[in-house]
Amino acid sequence: MRILFLGDTVGRTGRDAAVAALPKLRERLRIDLAVINAENASHGFGLAPDMAEALFGAGADVITLGNHAWDRKEIVPYIANHPRLIRPMNFPPGTPGAGCAMVELADGRKALVASAMGRLYMDPLDCPFRAMAGEMAKHRLGASVQAILVDFHAEATSEKWAFAHLFDGQVSVVVGTHTHCPSADHTILAGGTAFQSDAGMCGDYDSVIGMDKTIATARFLKKLPGEKLHPADGEATVCGLYVETDDATGLATRVEPVRMGGRLSQALPDV
Q: Which residues are catalytic?
A: 68
Write phi, then psi, for 252 (nearest 5 degrees): -75, 140
Strand 194-196 relative to strand 85-86, pairing: unpaired
In 200-262, which residue ranges form alpha helices assigned H by DSSP?
A: 213-222
Q: Is 131 helix (H, G, I), strand (E, B) or coil?
A: helix
In contact, 160 and 185? CB cutoff 8 Å: no
| CA–CA gap between residue 211 and residue 232 (Å, rounded) | 5
Neighbours of 167 (CB within 10 A): 24
On the 0-12 / 13-18 / 19+ scale of CB atoms within 10 A, 105 is middle
On the 0-12 / 13-18 / 19+ scale of CB atoms within 10 A, 194 is buried
Instruction: Give bridge partners of residue 194 from the DSSP assignment.
Output: 173, 188
Closest among 217, 211, 235 to 40, alpha carbons compared: 211
Give me the amino acid identity at 255: V
